Structure 1
Amino acid sequence: MVVLNKIYTRTGDAGETALGDGARVAKYASRVEAYGTVDELNSTVGLARLSSEDDMDSALARIQNDLFDLGADLCRPHMEKDAESEYAPLRMIASQMDRLEVEIDVMNTDLSPLRSFILPGGTPLAAHLHLCRTVARRAERLTVGLSSTEDVNPAAIKYLNRLSDWFFVAARVANNGGQDDVLWVPGANR
């Protein structure tokens, strides 16, 4: 259980922050960049939810919770030491990614195949979901970069990869099943 009685602690005033295992690192460290971008993504999902309803809103709420799980996973380095921990660290698992794949397949069922790239836009919800997609891609790039030098749960990277696909398909659904997709016209303004 998390208890936040005091919001400011002054412990970060010198430009450092604590990771999930208590280690202190610079606020610009690669790990902090990765989970900080996941936090930013969660905020963009919150914006998308302002325009969502019913099943889409429920799915976005689940994703927001998953993103907190992902942040908890990324802020805790040294997976090899998980067994030594006082409590089991929260790690992303395959079923979270599997759920996204099932939802993508269901959403994609009634969409017509694409014959062009899509410009971000259309309905307000679709535009917000495209923003979520691009922030998810950035979080994925940062997490993959982190994994080249530090220990990262492979399920975290897979989840981010699949999540950006989910946002793309969800944006098409939000654009009246793809009918209001804004298509790229190569060289249209030459």
Structure 2
Amino acid sequence: MVNLTRIYTRTGDAGSTRLSDMSVARKTDLRVEAYGHVDEANAVLGMAITSGGLREDVVAVLRAVSNELFDVGADLSNPLVAEPKWEPLRIPPESIDRLEAWCDEFSESLPDLVSFILPGGTPGAAYLHLARTVVRRAERAGWAAAEAYGLEVSAGDEPGGVNPLALTYLNRLSDLLFILGRVANEGVGDVLWVPGKDREPVGERARRQREKIEKAQDDLGRSS
């Protein structure tokens, strides 16, 4: 259990911080950047949960994910080394399996897509799409850190690499959040993207394409 006795420490006023293994890193370090984005994604999940209107099973999944995102942040802030001073918190393969199972479970009741989706519909859906984009950013930042430090365990004085399972977790989580964003819009239907050439039809073909998308969106709303 973590015991926080004081929130401010003044130790970071010179632009440095400590990773979870107590090694010193600059606040601009790519690892710090990556787990900072994970922290931001978790904050957006909190907004989604408290926005109201989400199904209870969706909220339960989001609360579980919120806890695991702390694990992801801890993992990203712990370089891979052969002999750590203490056992680091790592994302296990089972966590990724669980995300994939949730993706399959929540996808079953969703209709096929005929276009890309725009954020919106319900507040919960909009927040979930925002969380998805922040998770994608965290994944990109994690890969930038991996390019700088590698994905391997360090046995010497070199900085340890980044755990690839943490990056895989973020990838699968962004997929799950996309799916849950659609689930959150079950009562109103997906907000579908209408390409520019179809928004203002200039010909019969473009007009038919727009009508097809609009009909599909209406059908989604009625079937939700």
TM normalised by structure 1 equals 0.94
In the TM superposition, 1:75-114 aligns within 5 A as 75-77=77-79, 79-81=80-82, 84-114=83-113
Amino acid at match of 1:145: A
Shift in Å at residue 22 of structure 1? 1.1
Q: Single out whichever of 11-20 and 44-53 deviates more from structure 2.
A: 44-53
For 1:61, the equivalent position in structure 2 comes to 63
CA distance in 1, matches of 2:132, 2:93: 20
Q: Single out whichever of 51-60 and 36-45 deviates more from structure 2.
A: 51-60
CA distance in 2, matches of 1:7, 1:133: 29
For 2:6, the equivalent position in structure 1 comes to 6
CA distance in 2, matches of 1:111, 1:53: 15
User: Aligned residues, how many?
Assistant: 186
Aligned-pair identity (%): 52
For 1:117, the equivalent position in structure 2 comes to 116
User: 1:28-62 CA deviation, whole Å, 9 max, x = no partner?
Assistant: 11000000000001100000101234111110000
For 1:73, the equivalent position in structure 2 comes to 75
CA distance in 1, matches of 2:121, 2:145: 34
Query: Aligned with 1:47: secondary structure?
Result: helix
Contact 2:55/2:184 (8 A) holds in 1? no
Shift in Å at residue 149 of structure 1? 1.3
Shift in Å at residue 189 of structure 1? 5.8
User: 1:69-116 CA deviation, whole Å, 9 max, x = no partner?
Assistant: 000101111x133xx223210001111011011011010001111110
CA distance in 2, matches of 1:173, 1:5: 40
Contact 2:119/2:125 (8 A) holds in 1? yes
Contact 1:16/1:24 (8 A) holds in 2? yes
Call closer, same or farther: CA 1:35–1:189 in 2, change over 3 Å: farther
Query: Aligned with 2:25: secondary structure?
Result: strand
Q: Single out whichever of 144-153 and 29-38 deviates more from structure 2.
A: 144-153
CA distance in 1, matches of 2:55, 2:107: 18
Alignment gaps of 5+ in structure 2: 150-160, 202-224
TM normalised by structure 2 equals 0.80
User: 1:5-35 CA deviation, whole Å, 9 max, x = no partner?
Assistant: 1111110011111111111111111000000
Query: Aligned with 1:149: secondary structure?
Result: helix
Q: Verify: 1:47 aligned to 2:21, yes or no.
A: no
Alignment gaps of 5+ in structure 1: none
For 2:164, the equivalent position in structure 1 comes to 154
1:176 to 183, 186, 202: 186
Query: Aligned with 2:31: secondary structure?
Result: helix
Runs (4 or more) in structure 1 with deviation over 3 Å come to none
Query: Aligned with 2:35: secondary structure?
Result: helix
For 1:135, the equivalent position in structure 2 comes to 134
What root-mean-square deviation, in Å, do the aligned CA atoms of Structure 1 and Structure 2 show?
1.3
Amino acid at match of 1:181: D
